[in-house]
Chain A
């Protein structure tokens, strides 16, 4: 149906949009409206429920509490902004479905069709949000050791969702703080690995010849090492704290990306768009950064999702072995290790942190699968042409 009037209608729904979801409900988009409403109600509930922590955060010198409160405000602002914009968009296009034709828009639509991948992305976002909000959410101080004899090894209950550990610490609180460590290490290490790998591989491919040869022989050697052995060795050589661990994970995992990107760039660098960029005198680094890397990036996105999972898994493995993040700082890996000797009497100590870890890794793996399907150039072309 086409609109006769090109000018957007002034509408009574505009005001309603300030209550997130109400505008959608009025326009008949019930599902999205209810979701937006639930989201904003949950956020407001959080602020009210933990009002003193929310406010106190601004007068403490702790960056993480500060971040948590800012994040809550941003969540609220974000949902209002989004619903305003979205209601406006729905009204503008009044019934007409807007279908973007760019490859990214097509990929986005294909991705949305994959329900498992969409749920995975929700879970991942939820976990990252929980991790950021940990100082506001956690019912107990993760490090506080109460009366040990009365509190140790309590099974999961309303008071302690995940039970307590051998020192009587609340495992739910520790798991949320552990999520901060595990999830941020995974993300940062992935970014380091992908950045180095991408730059390295594209430099090798673009310059070719001796440069390529030397650079790729280094990669060959690096790849020959089983990654986990390399990590173990580096952890043995350097004293591992969080920063060092991120660097170790990132610096061991880049060569795969380098080799992959090199292959992609090799096939791109003789195509017309590269030649014309060279013809107008663009310097090499700009050709690489502005033209070659963006063209090769979409498959990297798929491997990036897998790499986050790989890095989180590696960190958990190292911490499990007692060589990564060390207690009392909680990470999912060392929490599982803490429960490994008491599986019979206190199964929950190892089960819950490991379960969260597993759920995270599965989500990233399903997300990568969805991205792969959505970004597959062959499938893209079929739908596009």
Chain B
């Protein structure tokens, strides 16, 4: 098992290198002077040309591109993404503050996804071809298609503006500091409710569909027929026999859903004024804050790779048919 994990880790090294490389070259594709990425063009006109030359030297922009590339790789390896020119602080610190908020949101959304998705999928499969199943199947298709930002706005309109049940935005209330421990916790949850729901519900719809199909597939297998023939109750057959096998591939689905969640979180975070990576990126794109854009994009990709890695390892751990040694062919 350990050997398998190490092997998978080694296999993702070129991938990580590729990600870092791609970010560098996409940023360099920008039309115009790369200097614009360190100092906004408007400011450049105000600044003494000599100062600009000096900065060019300092950031290594006078070097040939391959030297710059190597410098970029070295810096990223040290976790140094330069300095944001909006915040005038190291990008590393800004991103480090934002990532936990995004993880909070995405992990809770994943939990919601699993809770609703798996249970609704099971209900749907067990009641195959009934009215309930059809409603759930079509309903999940519809929910899956609703754009998150519109759903978020409509929920804010209904629950926050009109009914006042949930806060419209932010991570905590004004009086947060005065609350007790439990109060603080509840306050955070209360603020998380709407964004997590919007972010998780689409994934839940997808999971429900997938779960339904998987369980139906498994229920057609011979060992299920055998279990039924031996007179087990239907409940036992489903819960003890079918479900175990049907749940295994769900793990990989979660590994793959991470990029969608992170992408969706950008808009949701912006709407709910949630100080995570997504809102940071959106603000940075609006303000042409290139060091931050490059950092968050790289980190989002690295998180995705990590998510896939975790999913693969978990899959190998729960599915006895996967052999740890043979490299899996894609």
Are A221 and B15 also in contact (CB < 8 A) when A229-B301, A364-B145 are? yes
Residues of chain B with a CB closer than 8 A to A116's CB: 138
A152 at the interface (CB under 8 A from B): no
Q: Is the CB of A313 within 8 A of B147?
A: yes
Q: How many A-B pairs with Cβ below 8 Å?
A: 147
Are A336 and B264 also in contact (CB < 8 A) when A221-B19, A237-B26, A358-B145 are? no
Q: Is the CB of A343 within 8 A of B286?
A: no
Q: Is the CB of B18 within 8 A of A357?
A: no
Residue in B22, B149, B294 whose beta carbon sits within 8 Å of that of A317 in the complex: B149
Q: Is the CB of B157 within 8 A of A343?
A: yes
How close is B233's CB to chain A, nearest CB, in angstroms? 31
Residues of chain A with a CB closer than 8 A to B27's CB: 233, 237
A234 at the interface (CB under 8 A from B): yes
Which of these binds chain B: A69-77, A122-130, A318-326?
Answer: A318-326
Residues of chain A with a CB closer than 8 A to B171's CB: none
B296 at the interface (CB under 8 A from A): yes
How long is the Cα–Cα vector from A354 to B150 in the complex, in angstroms? Answer: 6
B293 at the interface (CB under 8 A from A): yes
A238 at the interface (CB under 8 A from B): yes
How long is the Cα–Cα vector from A224 to B141 in the complex, in angstroms? Answer: 26
B263 at the interface (CB under 8 A from A): yes
Are A362 and B304 also in contact (CB < 8 A) when A238-B30, A323-B282 are? no
Residue in A221, A232, A354 whose beta carbon sits within 8 Å of that of B285 in the complex: A232
Q: Which B residues between 284 and 308 are near A, CB-CB below 8 angstroms?
A: 284-286, 288, 290, 293-294, 296-297, 300-301, 304-305, 308
Q: Is the CB of B147 within 8 A of A316?
A: yes
Number of interface residues of A (CB under 8 A): 48
Q: Is the CB of A229 within 8 A of B156?
A: no
Are A358 and B31 also in contact (CB < 8 A) when A229-B301, A233-B297 are? no
How long is the Cα–Cα vector from A235 to B286 in the complex, in angstroms? Answer: 9
Q: Is the CB of A227 within 8 A of B18?
A: no
Q: Is the CB of A220 within 8 A of B15?
A: yes
Are A225 and B300 also in contact (CB < 8 A) when A236-B288, A362-B142 are? yes
Q: Is the CB of B147 within 8 A of A365?
A: no
Residue in A225, A333, A340 whose beta carbon sits within 8 Å of that of B259 in the complex: A225
A311 at the interface (CB under 8 A from B): no
Q: Which A residues between 180 and 239 are near B, CB-CB below 8 angstroms?
A: 216-218, 220-222, 224-230, 232-238
Are A365 and B145 also in contact (CB < 8 A) when A221-B19, A224-B301 are? yes
How close is A130's CB to chain B, nearest CB, in angstroms? 19
Which of these binds chain B: A5-13, A96-104, A278-286, A344-352?
Answer: A344-352
Q: Which residues of B contact A (CB under 8 A)?
A: 14-15, 18-19, 21-23, 26-27, 29-31, 138, 141-142, 144-150, 153-154, 156-157, 161-162, 258-260, 262-264, 266-267, 270-271, 281-282, 284-286, 288, 290, 293-294, 296-297, 300-301, 304-305, 308, 330
Please, could you name 24 A-B residue pairs with CB atoms under 8 Å apart, sorted by A? A217-B18, A224-B18, A224-B19, A224-B259, A224-B301, A225-B301, A226-B258, A226-B304, A228-B263, A228-B266, A232-B266, A233-B23, A237-B29, A316-B147, A320-B149, A343-B153, A343-B156, A350-B150, A351-B154, A354-B147, A357-B150, A358-B145, A361-B147, A365-B145
